[in-house]
Structure 1
Amino acid sequence: MFNPNPRIEIVPIAGRHVCHVIDDALLDPDALVALAAAHADAFVETRHNAYPGPELRMPDGFSAQLDAFFTRHLRRAFDVRRTDRMYSRLAITATPPERLAPSQSICHVDRLSVEPQHRIVASVLYLFRDVRLGGTTFYAPKHPPEVILPMIADAGNLDAEAFRARYGIATGYMTASNDWFEKILTVPARYNRMIFYEGTLFHSGEIAHPELLSRDPRAGRLSLNGFFTCRRNLAPA
């Protein structure tokens, strides 16, 4: 299902970090969109993460294909020797901006803390043709962890009014720098484009036109998201 001969573009993010961009990632992306549409009623909004819309966990067999693609083409680039665990999901960004929780109104990381032996890698495959629905933007914190981490904790605990009063961050999709984070790179969306990046980087969907969002998998901002917990290569003696 995945392109056996992908062309991988390396896009610098900041400092030592990069984003790996792959166009034409699937041999038949329309089939995955059709699958999402056929199972639209099975998409559900979950409480275990801050994703602003419904999700559909993919079968282990499909996730194994994604992991095999990662292992063959990207593992060496992230300096890891194996995948300890991973999963994938289809997701549709659909929450109206005025209904976002504080944790959805700021950029995020896929894992705040990582064991020294592990590296977190994430992937996004864009499955929509209207590029106005937005790609992915990366941010750099403007403050040290001892300042940023309490703010992130409050984003998960305070209501929108209290969070805005304390931090000056309004409810809505984040698309620009603010007092807390600097916008450093946007990877534009393109149908059947997939990106891979380190999951400890702050990032967010670039939702500049929320009026276009839809829960319909054929019309909305449908993506395939992969999350990999990888074992780092052994340090040289």
Structure 2
Amino acid sequence: MFNPRPQVRYVAIAGQAPCVIVDDFLLDPHAVVAHAVAAQDRFAVDPANYYPGPELDLGRETALRLDEFFIQHVRRALGAQRTISVAARLALATLPPERLHPLQRLCHRDCADLAPGVGAAAAVVYLFDDPRLGGTSFYRAAGSLEETARVLRAAHAGTAAHTGASGYLTASNAHFEQLCTIPACFNRAIFYDGTIFHAAQIEVPALLHGDPARGRLTMNGFFRFRQRSA
């Protein structure tokens, strides 16, 4: 399913672990897009994770194969020793800016209350041809831990005035500084530390579409792992 001889490269993120980039990631990416089209009626919105569109779980076998790739080619760069859990799903961003929840107007992290010695990582595979649908940007908090927590709590509560954004976050604002952007490219995978603030770089939301063959379709992976000892 995944390229057995990948060309792996790294993009530095200031003060953080690097973003790991693998082009030509899937051996047959068009088959994955075809699967998404055929299974479109099984995509569903999960309000618990605030993704701005429907998702489809890819099952345990695909998740385990993704983890095998992570173990062989990625984990050392992100400080991982042993995987604790892994999940994989397809996702289709569809929400127009005016329908975003305040929390969806900010960057976010793919982790919550990690235990000591436990880390998190995420993967995104871009499965669309038009790069204008957007890659991924990384951020750091501009204020203190307390100030950032206050902004996130207000956004979670639905207080739009505290987000500082009227649509998808695509640049620095009063609360978060954009560090770098990884452009989208068909069949490109990125892996990154899930504790880094990040957001999809959706600058042309009018291009979002509910058809997986036309819209911002991605394969997303999520990992929990034991951190490697220093």
TM-score range, shorter chain: over 0.9
Given candidates 151, 169, 173, the residue that maps to 2:168 is 173
Shift, 1:63, TM fit? 0.8
Do the aligned partners of 1:9 and 1:22 also contact (CA within 8 Å) in 2?
A: yes
Deviation per CA, 1:123-182: give whole Å up to 9, x if none.
000000000000000011100111101210111112xxx421xx2623310111110011
**Alpha-carbon shift at residue 59 of structure 1 (Å):** 1.1
Percent identity of paired positions between Structure 1 and Structure 2? 46
- Structure 1 Cα separation of the partners of residues 181 and 81 of structure 2: 29
Q: Output aligned runs, 1:1-237, within 5 Å.
A: 1-158=1-158, 162-164=159-161, 167=162, 169-235=164-230
Instruction: Give, in whole Å, the separation in 1 of the partners of 2:160 and 2:202.
Output: 21
CA contact (8 A) 1:101 1:171 kept: no
Say if 1:177 and 1:183, in contact at 8 Å, map to a contact too: yes
Query: 2:106·2:165 contact (CA, 8 Å) conserved in 1?
Result: no
TM-score, normalised to structure 2's length? 0.97
- How far is 1:80 from its partner? 1.8
Flag structure 1 segments of 5+ consecutive residues without an equivalent: none
The one-character-per-residue Cα deviations of 1:202-233 (angstroms, maximum 9, x if unpaired) are 00000000000001000000000000000112
Partner amino acid for 2:160?
F
Q: Take 1:22 and 1:11, find their aligned partners in 2: how far apart are those partners? A: 11
- Aligned Cα root-mean-square deviation (Å): 1.1
Contact 1:121 1:228 in 2 (8 A): yes
1-side partners of 2:131 and 2:147: how far apart? Answer: 35
Q: Which digits, 9 at most, give the CA deviation of each residue in 1:69-126, with x for residues without a partner?
A: 1111112222222110010110001001100000000111111432111110100000
Q: Counterpart of 2:12 in structure 1: which amino acid? A: P
Matched to 2:207, the amino acid is: L
Asked if 1 retains the 8 angstrom alpha-carbon contact of 2:16 and 2:196, the reply is: no
Is contact 2:25-2:187 (8 Å) kept?
A: yes
CA distance in 2, matches of 1:154, 1:88: 30
Unpaired runs of at least 5, structure 2: none
Worse-superposed segment, 106-115 or 219-228:
106-115
User: What is the count of residue pairs matched by the alignment?
Assistant: 230
User: Which amino acid counterpart does residue 110 of structure 1 have in structure 2?
Assistant: D
Q: Distance in 1 between matches of 2:181 and 2:224?
A: 24
One-letter identity of the residue aligned with 1:195: I
1:25-68: CA deviation from partner (whole Å, max 9, x where unpaired): 01110010000000000000111101100000111111111011
Deviation at 1:17, TM superposition (A): 2.4
CA distance in 2, matches of 1:134, 1:202: 17
CA distance in 1, matches of 2:3, 2:67: 13
* Separation of aligned partners in 1, 2:163 and 2:196: 22
Kept in 1: contact 2:135–2:182 (CA 8 A) = yes
TM-score, scaled to structure 1: 0.94
